[in-house]
Amino acid sequence: MSDIIQLLPDHVANQIAAGEVVQRPASIVKELLENAIDAGATKIELIVRDAGKNLIQVVDDGKGMSETDARMAFERHATSKIRGTEDIFKISTKGFRGEALASIAAVAQVELKTKLHDAHLGTNIYIEGGTFHFQEPVQTSEGSSFSVKNLFYNVPARRKFLKNNNVEFRHVIDEFQRVALAHENTEFTMFHDDEPIFRLRKGTQMQRIVDIFGRKLQPLLIPIREDILWCQLHGFVAKPEGAKKTRGEQFIFVNGRFFKSNYFNKAVQDAFEGLLLPGYTPSFFLFLELDPEKIDVNIHPQKTEVKFEDEHLIFALIRSTIKRSLGIYNVAPSLDFERDPQLDEMMQKSFPSRSNGEQSFKMPEVSVDRDYNPFLEEKSPGKAEIQNLAEMYHQNISAAPSKINLFEDEDFDEDLMRLPNGYWLFNKGDRTLMLDLGRMHRLLVSEKDKSAQKQNLSHALLFSLEYHMNEIERNKYRSIKKFLPELGFDMKIAHGNVLRIDAVPEGLKETQVMNFLENLFDILEYKTEDDFMHFYQNQWNKLQSKSRFDFIYKNDAEQLIKEFTALGFPEYLPNGKRCFYEVPFNDFKNKF
């Protein structure tokens, strides 16, 4: 039998290895931006075409590379960041494995121009599909310019699995924001298909957040800060009114590196306990600083996961610090603003020597009056109190389900009763129906909207509203503004990125305008007018519609049923979902 095991050719091995590092255009954006940060850049420019599929270029003013280093940078496992295994656990830079550039060059056409600050000439290198083509001297600016073209041109099976430009560009934006948020002292600019997307100045963390996400977020941000010797936490959380049902703005960094952690996200969610509606998540921008030896960033190829030596302590730190800040800024009631006792207790268990040395931790004291007897102070209720109790009892009885007549012109009685799960039971003639009033209301809203839109109804605002757009929203407004007048909007850019709104469609409340526009701007690209109108209608219906849990009073349910009856009492929504279901009470006879 002949031997069957053989070494893979280098170009095949590199393409396979690239799969761990280069999953989509956003992966390259992340690696090149982080390389620029590690090079000490103060200005970084990102240029993207076709959502990064055809071009990703990163230009920086960092320290640049020598002729030899420029060539070595494209070799696998070539790195300036570590010298031995022990260095992996003391990482203070972004990239360190020496795989990124080799992986990128294996699946794209890459050109590098770079020059040291004290050099007369720079170096120009061109690599295509992992094959080195040339290296030559060149006149170029100080720093580096990486151009990555035609991603996966030589691996068509991989290119086929890329998503549409809207999705891929969203990932590019995500990576850009993550790097830019963590480095507010670096100037960033970004262009997509020659359109400016971001121009981020140097400034404070607050300024960087506002420059990226818009001025509307600024009044919602609450600063947080805590220092527990070996770990510092700072950043911002948004007030409960800034919470969203979608992912929203949720960022957490350690030593300037973005990472994902459902565990720490839960710490934030716990801090907002009792302040958010079900299904909503808070927005936050958290920055952790601690000794690199206490974390391991080498557990994920994209370095988006981090292992912590003391994650339970950090969980308690995040939760208690946010809760305290919410109390200080009068967002949540608080008896005192001292640190969470659980955090101090955990600190004592983990670092007992420090509690006796550098810093002392005072355990909370609880005093109890063991002679207190509540029954000795109990008073007999007076006549007025008895009368109040009686009135409350009768009010509760009257609120219980009862037989009501909805339609005086009908010759049959109808019962209506609300169930704990939000559905209503309704006797209509000799049939008993279980109603989803939320879906019934949605259908009514849809029918009313069709009539209103045909008449192009709108109402002028007494005072104009101003919507402060970020660069992404400004570009989106340009793409959809031609559709807005026929929908009932009267708006235009007043100055800078400020959108002035003078009139809105009939049925859109002034208090709803900002959130409604924010939802419209959330989609990065509408391919056709039909695409936009479909999304617009869905958002409008969501805004106008109520859920079945919103109907808690009988008079509201009665009015809705009357309107729904006038509509013909249709059983299904256009998407095929039921508005009501007939309860088969005859089937219950066999149960007794």
Q: Which tens digit of pLDDT belongs to each residue from 250-302? A: 999 999 999 999 999 999 999 999 998 888 899 999 999 998 888 877 655 55
Distance between CA 143 and CA 40 in Å, rounded? 9
138 and 222, same domain (yes or no): no
Last residue of a domain, one of 165, 200, 235: 200
Q: Work out the average pLDDT over 323-327.
A: 94
Dihedral sign of CA atoms 500, 502, 506, 508 in order = positive
What's the pLDDT at 347?
58
465 and 507, same domain (yes or no): yes
| CA count, 13 A, side-chain hemisphere, 481 | 13
Distance between CA 96 and CA 113 in Å, rounded? 21
Say if 392 falls within a structural domain: no
Closest by Cα among 189, 185, 178 to 303: 178
What's the pLDDT at 403?
36
323 and 433, same domain (yes or no): no
Q: Work out the average pLDDT over 503-521.
A: 85
Say if 252 falls within a structural domain: yes
pTM tops 0.75, yes or no: no
DSSP state of 152: T
Asked if pLDDT for residue 117 goes beyond 80, the answer is yes
Which stretch of 68-82, 167-181, 477-491, 499-513 has the lowest confidence by average pLDDT? 68-82
Domain containing residue 545: CATH number = 3.30.1370.100
What's the pLDDT at 388?
52
Say if 366 falls within a structural domain: no
DSSP state of 226: E
349 and 437, same domain (yes or no): no
Residue 294: CB partners within 8 Å, gap ≥ 6?
A: 230, 231, 308, 309, 310
128 and 243, same domain (yes or no): no
Q: Which pair of tokens denotes residue 561?
A: 């049923």
Q: For strands 122-128 and 131-138, give the pairing.
A: antiparallel
Alpha helices for 299-417 (secondary structure H): 311-328, 341-350, 352-356, 383-399
Which stretch of 46-55, 535-544, 571-580 has the lowest confidence by average pLDDT? 535-544
What's the pLDDT at 413?
43
What's the pLDDT at 180?
97
Query: Each residue of 43-56: pLDDT tens digit?
Result: 999 999 999 999 99
88 and 120, same domain (yes or no): yes
61 and 180, same domain (yes or no): yes
| CA count, 13 A, side-chain hemisphere, 579 | 20
43 and 96, same domain (yes or no): yes
Q: In three state form, how does the secondary structure of 226-275 look?
A: EECCCEEEEEEEECHHHCECCCCCEEEEECCEECCCHHHHHHHHHHCCCC
pLDDT band at 317 (very low <50, low <70, confident <90, very high): very high
Residue type, 185: N
Domain containing residue 106: CATH number = 3.30.565.10
149 and 218, same domain (yes or no): no
Say if 380 falls within a structural domain: no
Q: Work out the average pLDDT over 233-262.
A: 90
What's the pLDDT at 1?
56
Q: How many domains does the chain have?
A: 3
191 and 240, same domain (yes or no): no
Domain that holds residue 558: 402-592
Q: For strands 231-238 and 195-200, give the pairing.
A: unpaired
Last residue of a domain, one of 171, 200, 229: 200
Adjacent-strand bridge partners of 459: 504
Distance between CA 539 and CA 247 in Å, rounded? 17
Say if 454 falls within a structural domain: yes
Domain containing residue 231: CATH number = 3.30.230.10
Cα distance between the two ends of the chain: 76
Asked if pLDDT for residue 400 goes beyond 50, the answer is no
298 and 236, same domain (yes or no): yes
Q: Which pair of tokens denotes residue 250?
A: 């949720």
Last residue of a domain, one of 356, 387, 410: 356
φ, ψ at 474 (rounded to 5°): -65, -45
Asked if pLDDT for residue 386 goes beyond 50, the answer is no
Say if 389 falls within a structural domain: no
Say if 391 falls within a structural domain: no
Q: Work out the average pLDDT over 466-479.
A: 83
Distance between CA 74 and CA 85 in Å, rounded? 21
Say if 487 falls within a structural domain: yes
- How many other CB atoms are found less than 10 A from the CB of residue 418? 18
163 and 227, same domain (yes or no): no
Alpha helices for 95-223 (secondary structure H): 100-106, 156-160, 165-182, 205-213
